[in-house]
Amino acid sequence: MKEIGFALALLAVSPAWADQPVTVLAMGDSTTAGTPGFRSPVEAPPDGAGDEQSQYAHWVRQLHPEWRVLNRGVNGERTDQILRRLPPDLRTLKPQVVVLLAGVNDLYQGRSAEQVEENLERMIRLSLEARARVVVCTILPYNSAPPSVLDRMRRVNRWIRETSSREGLGFCDLFSVVENPARPGTLRGTPDGLHPDVDGYRKMGETIGEELQRVLS
């Protein structure tokens, strides 16, 4: 993996967004979009569709109504597809913070942990170069994940934790937030076995909101 710390140094010297209203760019797949209860504004323009509480962005807004929290999740996307969407969003939306939650679809489709890590690293670098803070979240479990997927998921999640610590990034262990303690590697509450229920999205939003507050302060 390449060093990405240089971008943090630039950010610390000259944050281009100082004293501006906070915009949070939430990039990810279905667990950012709010599947199955909600379709993000990317999926159902211009405002999304469904139960707004079935997305973590809603709960971050409840904690911080003064923030602009943009749900840019798309159901089923891999990290390479999310990566392609990131640069135009950084240019046009100019977020102060980028939240990254991605990788489960890569692993489900048989891609390696290294591929996920490389794409996440590129997203981190692009965000930092755009003078945004970054919060990286661990991948969520799903109930039908075979041991081979869970092993790669845990490897990526370790990489996320270690990279966030080393580079001074924001970090949220959402895997633990939604995991069922009685059945490790599965979801505590889920309507379809693949995604969190509304309570899970609420807990995710509260966790992310607290970390965003820490990162911004």
Q: Is residue 11 part of a domain?
A: no
Q: Is residue 4 part of a domain?
A: no
Assign 3-state DSSP to the chain and report helix, strand, coil percentages, each to 5.
Answer: 45, 15, 40
Q: Is residue 1 part of a domain?
A: no
Radius of gyration, CA atoms only, the chain: 16
CB neighbourhood size of 36 (10 A): 17
Q: Is residue 2 part of a domain?
A: no
Q: Which residues contact 149 (CB under 8 A, 6 or more apart)?
A: 107, 108
Return the CATH number at 130. 3.40.50.1110
The boundaries of the domain holding residue 131 are 19-216
Q: Is residue 71 part of a domain?
A: yes
Residues written for the chain: 217
Direct distance between the N- and C-terminal alpha carbons of the chain, in angstroms, rounded to an integer? 29
Q: Side chain identity at 125, as an amino acid letter?
A: R
Q: Is residue 14 part of a domain?
A: no
Number of separate domains in the chain: 1
Q: Is residue 201 part of a domain?
A: yes
**pLDDT tens digit at each of 217 positions of the chain:** 455 554 444 444 345 445 678 999 999 999 999 999 999 999 999 999 999 999 999 999 999 999 999 999 999 999 999 999 999 999 999 999 999 999 999 999 999 999 999 999 999 999 999 999 999 999 999 999 999 999 999 999 999 999 999 999 999 999 999 999 999 999 999 999 999 999 999 999 999 999 999 999 8
Q: Is residue 186 part of a domain?
A: yes
